[in-house]
Structure 1
Amino acid sequence: MSVSEVLSPLTEIAETVVANPSLEEQPRTRKRPKPGERREQILQALAAMLEKPGSDRITTAALAANLSVSEAALYRHFASKAQMFEGLIDFIEQSVFALVQQVAGREGEAVEMTPEDGARRAARIVALLLQFAERNPGMVRVMVGDALQLEHDRLQARMNQFFDRIESTLRQCLRPAAGALGSATPTVEAQVAASVLMSFVLGRMQRFVRTGFRRQPTENMDASLAMLI
């Protein structure tokens, strides 16, 4: 199976744009949102606003206007804008790590891998990261830190930990290949290889954001991975 065939079945917040009918179109008696529904709508709206290339720092006032609610209504569900971004990061972590676990196994599990199998799993992990990015452009701005500038430092720290965890998984996948080549330091070589793959992933994501989402992260993915793995 080629890495381009590895699809990530995600519930993509960033693909759902919250509809905001005008006041004239709304019924006089509005249906009360179900528990958690308004919170999800806020996150959907934030992700959709992040999809606009070149958009400035998003304020709570702009977010509230997008949803046709007051700023006070936002703060009934989130204590701060930082918490809203944490909600998006929660989604990124849960979605991506669930898929990574399907490919590489759960952390702490003893998984026997041949060199070929390990390389194949590493390629699939890279593929699912790039596919997630392509399908969720608003989320990518969070992942690479573009949307987190001037926000709380803990948000960027969480994304750093996210990529560190992915890199650790790639290292585990690539270690059998380094050992099979007779390396005296297979762990070190696997770490170097994992670092190169993560640099490739982050470079593709940053280019996606920098070009206003025109250059797709998965561009020539199979050929690129063939050169890297």
Structure 2
Amino acid sequence: MIHREGTSLLSYTLMIILLLIFIFFFIFSSVIFFLLSIFLVVFYVFLIFFFRNPKKFFYDENFYDKKKEIIVSPADGKIVEIQNIFETEFLKNKCICISIFMSPFDVHVNRYPVSGKVIYTKYHTGKYFIAWLKKSSLENEHTTIVVETNNKNKILFRQIAGFLARRIILYAKKNSVIKKGEEFGFIKFGSRIDIFLPLNSLILVKKGEKVSGGETEISIIRS
């Protein structure tokens, strides 16, 4: 299944590629024509692969156990950092920050890690450092979203643009009631998600581990 953010781009790109292949047929030798055509086809297949949106089954474990909050990964990718950090924008408190790097080969759909109510959203302009660098968290273009869960925990997470990512799409709206696993955004090409959790959280993942958005349990917060 192709994500909605890629449908128009894929349509226009296909028309351009077909036009180029038609032109190349008349101006290049058969060998060069064949190599260029293969390159364009491979490039188009990569775009289809990038904008894929595989079906996933979501359920909220917290519905069955009100004494704990199970946090799932907001994105597909690799855990590149787990650290204690002081969050300065909204929480203004010490937190555990888990950073997830999405390579161009990962699914780039972003999903809510918890159910609850969106109480804060903000877009920040910025630079385009490589996404796995620590300074990219605040210096790169990014968005900040905060969800207050049913247990009144406030979970903050950020979409962070990387060196290749030049467009962050955010669907989250303040005061909307959301469910774990629903889409809150999309980032085009390599990028990163940071999620800030309370210090009493039990972390279930480790640095270097691969995670799946909306599926991998990354933390438990007990009431």
Normalised by the shorter chain, which TM-score bucket?
Answer: under 0.3
TM-score (norm 2): 0.26
Query: TM-score when scaled to structure 1?
Result: 0.26
Specify which structure has the higher proportion of strand. Answer: 2
Comparing both structures, which one devotes a greater share of its residues to helix?
A: 1
